[in-house]
Amino acid sequence: MIICFSGTGNTRSVADYLSGVIGDDVLRLPPGLMREPEKIRLAVPDGRLIWAFPVHGWGLPLTVDNVIRKMRILAHADVVHHMVCSCGDDIGCADKVWRSEIAARGWRTGSVFSVQMPNNYVAFPGFDVDAPELMQAKLDKMPERVDAIAAALESGIDATDVVRGSFPRIKTYVIGWYFRRFLTRIKPFHADDSCTGCGKCVRNCPLGCIDIVDGKPRWSGQCTMCLRCYHLCRQHAVRYGKSTDGKGQYLHPDYQLLK
């Protein structure tokens, strides 16, 4: 089984492609369970649970962290956990964080992999979506990369095959800590005057964190900063403070939004 969280569709495309090769089903948790993962009781009959998620701040998305800490797996001694994360560039020590979170639950870890996909992080000065050529090049390389991951998983030999980048410890444990502490707040989210109040951001938020108040979206609750709301808005009305001014938008081409 592949348990998948995705903001803008990259990880979902990786999980779907992997599922097509190895035959494991993809499980996407609904917003209600993402918010209350203590209610999750998961049976993994084939004994293999693959965690697929995007890297956030060289670590795990807050919501994935929360799910790992609180969900329950039935007959967990028989289950081996693997990680397949997507990233724009590199993951720092996210794989080590994931291994220690899984181990802290008393669960067994197997292999870890990363897949480079188009970048969707725009909420800090200097970070923007990739140029169209780079975006396309990353999308084109995905199947070959996931074929290799599938072969490694099927071989049954534990692997660590990730792009850590330079200064991985500083990225994860210093900058990543700062990111989680200060750059995941919901207060800077707002919609500008071009917002039509269509509610598409409300319907598509994976955690159900947005509602419409006085005709405009309002953010509250446990946002995980996946930025789906920013990237899906046709009016480009969703903003994060001033950090997103002049930035591009990205959604995976196969990503199906709720209308």
Ligand X SMILES: Cc1cc2nc3c(=O)[nH]c(=O)nc-3n(C[C@H](O)[C@H](O)[C@H](O)COP(=O)(O)O)c2cc1C
Strand partners, 27: 3
Query: For ligand X, which is the closer residue by CB, 1 or 232?
Result: 232
Binding site for ligand X (CB under 6 A): 6-12, 54-58, 86-90, 117-121, 225-227, 252
Query: For ligand X, which is the closer residue by CB, 57 or 110?
Result: 57
Query: For ligand X, which is the closer residue by CB, 54 or 217?
Result: 54
| Location of structure tokens 């108040």 | 213
List Cβ<8 Å contacts ≥24 apart for 206-212.
206/5, 206/6, 206/7, 206/31, 206/34, 206/63, 207/31, 207/34, 207/35, 207/63, 208/31, 208/32, 208/34, 208/35
Query: For ligand X, which is the closer residue by CB, 63 or 109?
Result: 63
DSSP letters, 73-86, are EETGGG-EEEEEEE
Q: In angstroms, give the least distance from the CB of 27 to ligand X.
A: 15
Query: Dihedrals φ, ψ of 200, to 5°?
Result: -65, -35
Residue whose CB is nearest to ligand X in the complex, by number: 7
